[in-house]
Structure 1
């Protein structure tokens, strides 16, 4: 994401225990649990929230999602979204119930493995109680049918995310919590999954999303349905939908990279075409520096909607408001495909690993192709007092997650690492880090340990001053 000041987030027991087992079963059912007791042990509800340092209620425990299949239909005139989410997951404990995150929209019905499931709601938490207890390790499929008018979320820093309406459609962006405004799920970056999305929109409009477009068809009434496939794991905050009067363009891949699909709303299509045409070569250049591009496709979506006051690195297809579609921001959001999207944060506290790397990618780009040394950017960032408000690895509150230290001081950490270990070792780290954690999650501790293992030395002094230190060092 561009920096946000946001002008620019379940064996039954034997007959010997028959009477007691029956009694326990009845009690568990009365308590709302579903039983199939093993040795008298009953399943329990999964946790409602993963206790993230900044968003403790985001995400849910007791299961791991492997795949989302979303079927959506949107009416821009009324703002109504109708959806069915089929969520395939594996239980990480014996489950009597489990939660999904969903904001605002009304649930019509839900099932687990084709059997109706009871649904209770408290705020953004849906609690589903399946007819049969789910055993630890079992794969299960949940289907939720829902609808309503999605409402955006206003973040702690005042920016807006989620489902954002436009004059003729909508744009959906989700960092850190907005994806729960348009589909139910386990909305924490630590639970990544593959996606299939089928999107139907009115005649004359285009529907766009992440990944590879596998089908596009027009019904007799003119409605357009597109289908999108994201094979590689994706954190839910990186899912996107864009609906409107878009022009699309396909480009041959740059050397050693992948096919590119871009889209821009019609009034800005011509003006944005030259920079969109540069994406294959920018991706190819970054692949030479960061290692193989981690996904099956690349691209961009450019919207006129200035309610979206920032660009976001939505997986494979970053979203930009027209005012933020420039080469520097494009380089930043494309770099996120390695740093943030493929290697995703273990918790929101680790966000500097996304933003520090993407900001440093800007510095590397200008160093290599515009002959402005990264050291020049470092010195400018060092001189800006706003970058010293807090350590990049420890934003004080959720409101500070997208503040300058996460971006600029995060990039300074990487430049000091480069100066400390030398270019050859730094380049090994730069390529090795996204390779080691490809399509996985990683924490700050993971990174510092990895860098030290590659460097073959203790780097505590560097981390203590630049990554965790309070205040500005005497010298850059």
Structure 2
């Protein structure tokens, strides 16, 4: 019974230490253009970042997140001064009638998290904590386009958010160019570098790429054999086609993490799939985030369940579609058992957090209680109205930030039902 739980539970570890970012600012980033030179052997980065942004009203100071990065230089037409205060880069600006503002930030550092290096395998990959390898605004409601130029040793491969614009040969290195034209939050940006075995398949307009430093192409396709079906299932349930022309899955390291246009999955993941072909929750969970999370994003991490409970539940909905009701009910019984344990210990609480602090308990609440609540909502309104509501909500808020009441109203409008009592009981814990 708990085999599924053991697989699913690893999802929180990739985001377990995320701190609440209480940034209150009038900052709206429009675009990031980053040239980054990662050095795997020294576990360091050098970056040159051009940021275009707007500020509301007559704000004279804006703050970016910069982790432990060293800020070497900042330049811009309306820049008065800059300073690094703790983990934040503060910029003092002069009043400008022109919009947007534009600054260029030169930085360097040895990321303590967010960018994981493996010197033995000559690999590196990102895992959340974007501000530890790139200066950015970490607020999940701030969406921007993203261009990434990776300066890498010759012969190295790269996979990154956005579309590949090719490789430019330099004297001693190569410049790998990537561009994401549509806007997503900065925590969704990422990349993988190294040497990999790879295979791909074309599903309609989407190219699916699979990478591993260990598995041969035939085995890789076996690990990800359900990806085309999962993609089509989520397109149908959301009513929205996958937004990019490619989706990449990379077996690397020990983490499971969605990013815009790609996911990393632990190199140990194939052992689960080869042992039981129905244990594909991590493939479907991370792919679900390409809709619920990356493109329909919680306004702040107090509403984080709208990202994670949806991904957990949608992975089980696909299992129901593919493997039948018995598999789905097995998943739901696991989520319920986790929730029952929370209740037994007197720790039940609202799915909406006034102040989000990561912990195992809080993760169990938003991931598994949240998924169980979606199941109960489906039971209450019936299959047809539930999926009608999910599709209506997804279409309305695709590419936008959401809070819990947005989801509630969307479901009420689609079903014609008043859901006050249900949300007060199961979502807000008022009853």
In 2, the alpha carbon distance for the partners of 1:83 and 1:189 equals 22
In 2, the alpha carbon distance for the partners of 1:345 and 1:298 equals 24
In 1, the alpha carbon distance for the partners of 2:374 and 2:414 equals 14
Q: Which residue of 2 aligns with 1:166?
A: 118
Q: Answer whether contact 1:117 1:129 (CA < 8 A) is retained.
A: yes
Q: Which residue of 2 aligns with 1:382?
A: 336
Secondary structure in structure 1 of the residue aligned to 2:259:
coil
Q: Which residue of 2 aligns with 1:64?
A: 28
Q: Which residue of 1 aligns with 2:358?
A: 399
Secondary structure in structure 2 of the residue aligned to 1:293:
coil
Q: Which residue of 2 aligns with 1:141?
A: 102
Q: Which residue of 2 aligns with 1:461?
A: 421
Q: Answer whether contact 2:8 2:281 (CA < 8 A) is retained.
A: no
In 2, the alpha carbon distance for the partners of 1:320 and 1:54 equals 23
Q: Are 1:349 and 2:302 matched, yes or no?
A: yes
Change (3 A) 1:117 1:324: farther
Q: Which runs of 5+ in 2 are unaligned?
A: 1-6, 274-279
Q: Which residue of 2 aligns with 1:184?
A: 135
In 1, the alpha carbon distance for the partners of 2:148 and 2:317 equals 35
Count of residues in correspondence between the two structures: 406
In 2, the alpha carbon distance for the partners of 1:95 and 1:367 equals 51
In 2, the alpha carbon distance for the partners of 1:226 and 1:252 equals 23
Secondary structure in structure 1 of the residue aligned to 2:372:
helix
Tell me the TM-score normalized by structure 1. 0.79
In 2, the alpha carbon distance for the partners of 1:397 and 1:190 equals 15
Q: Which residue of 2 aligns with 1:443?
A: 403
Q: Deviations over 1:154-193 (max 9, x none)?
A: xxxxxxxx1111121311111xxx1100111111101011
Secondary structure in structure 2 of the residue aligned to 1:339:
coil
Secondary structure in structure 1 of the residue aligned to 2:325:
coil
Offset of residue 66 of structure 1? 1.0
In 2, the alpha carbon distance for the partners of 1:259 and 1:428 equals 28
Compare CA radii of gyration and give the structure with the larger one: 1
Q: Are 1:282 and 2:230 matched, yes or no?
A: yes
Change (3 A) 1:2 1:312: farther
Q: Deviations over 1:318-372 (max 9, x none)?
A: 1111223552210111111111111000010111111111111122112111013
Q: Which residue of 2 aligns with 1:97?
A: 61
Which of the residues 265, 272, 280 maps onto 1:320? 265
Secondary structure in structure 2 of the residue aligned to 1:322:
coil
Offset of residue 452 of structure 1? 1.2
Q: Which runs of 5+ in 1 are unaligned?
A: 10-52, 153-161, 472-476
Q: Are 1:423 and 2:356 matched, yes or no?
A: no
In 2, the alpha carbon distance for the partners of 1:294 and 1:391 equals 34
Q: Are 1:212 and 2:174 matched, yes or no?
A: no
Q: Which residue of 1 aligns with 2:292?
A: 339
